[in-house]
């Protein structure tokens, strides 16, 4: 009995000593400086566009930010043990990226395309969304185009959001447009809402955007499902990623771990069903 008691005491002392060393090591483990500054500050500064883009980020009637990217940003901050502060000082996607480049934000989110041009000035995470590139086309004009009816050049145009990745994509996919819509021209808009309205009314032929945005337009915008349809641009993906400053390699690595976990623990599937499902999805 005495030996059993001694053995029990030895085991208790051993585990107490083991866990003391274990927790001491982790409590004193050095956190990389690019992550430590966020934790010390107590907040993660997230740059997003000042112009709402449902379903990725938008203000509700009670002035609360919601959306696919907002829930991801809040969860990233939660896992870092801090809260979120949104920097909405940029009105174009290119300027949102510059906020990170110039160290006015820790990360940039909100349907940010990871393009090669942007990759020269900032670091990108692994993509967390891979939507198809897509056209939103006026149905009536499309019927005329398919039947070789001559279209007024002022109408036969595809809208591009100014200072967005789709300016680059239009140049990269010029062969696609030359093959499918010979002599079509592009026109830049400062507002996607205005571009969509002009497509619905038949002032222009279409808008070049991503499939998730197209699905949301058709699902939520009045008359859109009647007057427009989406057309996938073949073999063209729009990688949506988180932008970080080049000085944040450890934060980038940690965010990539977060993205991998999000894809395996069901969070991505849950958010996709909540925000990105098509009109007829159940």
Contacts of 279 by beta carbon, 8 Å cutoff, 6+ apart:
215, 218, 219, 225
Query: Mean pLDDT for the chain?
Result: 91
For position 277, what pLDDT does the model report?
A: 84
Does position 26 have pLDDT exceeding 50, yes or no?
no
Same domain, 51 and 65: yes
Mean pLDDT of 252-279: 93
Task: Give CA–CA dist 73/76, Å, rounded.
Answer: 5
User: Cβ(125)–Cβ(255) under 8 Å?
Assistant: yes
Confidence band of 278 (pLDDT split at 50, 70, 90): confident
Q: Rounded to two decimals, what is the model's pTM?
A: 0.86
109 in the same domain as 179: no
Tell me, what's the pLDDT at 8?
54
Residue 22 banded pLDDT, cuts 50, 70, 90 = very low
- Mean of the pLDDT values across residues 101-120? 97
- Residue 90: pLDDT band by 50, 70, 90 thresholds? very high
Q: Is residue 52 part of a domain?
A: yes
Task: Indicate if the pLDDT at residue 123 is higher than 80.
Answer: yes
Host domain of residue 63: 33-130+239-276
Q: What is the pLDDT of residue 222?
A: 87
Are 41 and 72 in the same domain? yes
pLDDT band of 4, cuts 50, 70, 90:
low
CATH (domain of 211):
3.40.190.10
pLDDT > 70: what percent of the chain?
88
Number of domains in the chain: 2
Residue 57 domain-assigned (yes or no) = yes
Nearest to 133 by CA among 52, 28, 235, 215: 235
Residue 50 included in any domain: yes
| Cis? peptide before 90, omega within 30° of 0 | no
Same domain, 222 and 246: no
- pLDDT score of 13: 54
């Amino acid at each position: 009995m005495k030996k059993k008691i001694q053995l029990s005491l030895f085991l208790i002392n051993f585990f107490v000593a083991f866990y003391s060393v274990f927790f001491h090591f982790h409590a004193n483990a050095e956190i990389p400086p690019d992550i430590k500054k966020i934790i010390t500050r107590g907040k993660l500064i997230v740059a997003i566009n000042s112009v709402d883009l449902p379903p990725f980020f938008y203000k509700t009637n009670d002035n609360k930010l919601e959306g696919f990217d907002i829930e991801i940003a809040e969860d990233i901050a939660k896992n870092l043990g801090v809260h979120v502060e949104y920097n909405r000082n940029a009105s174009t996607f290119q300027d949102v990226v510059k906020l990170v480049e110039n160290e006015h934000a820790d990360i940039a989110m909100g349907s940010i395309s990871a393009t090669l041009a942007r990759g020269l000035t900032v670091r990108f995470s692994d993509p967390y969304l891979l939507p198809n590139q897509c056209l939103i086309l006026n149905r009536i004009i499309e019927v005329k185009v398919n039947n070789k009816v001559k279209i007024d050049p002022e109408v036969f145009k595809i809208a591009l959001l100014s200072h967005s990745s789709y300016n680059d994509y239009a140049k990269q996919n010029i062969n696609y447009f030359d093959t499918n819509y010979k002599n079509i021209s592009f026109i830049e808009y400062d507002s996607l809402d205005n571009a969509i309205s002009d497509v619905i009314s038949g002032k222009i032929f279409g808008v070049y955007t991503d499939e998730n945005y197209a699905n949301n337009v058709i699902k939520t915008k009045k008359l859109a499902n009647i007057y427009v349809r989406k057309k996938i641009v073949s073999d063209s993906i729009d990688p949506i990623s988180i932008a970080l400053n080049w000085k944040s390699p450890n934060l980038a690595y940690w965010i990539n771990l977060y993205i991998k976990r999000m894809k395996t623990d069901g969070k991505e599937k849950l958010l996709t069903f909540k925000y990105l499902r098509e009109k007829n999805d159940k």
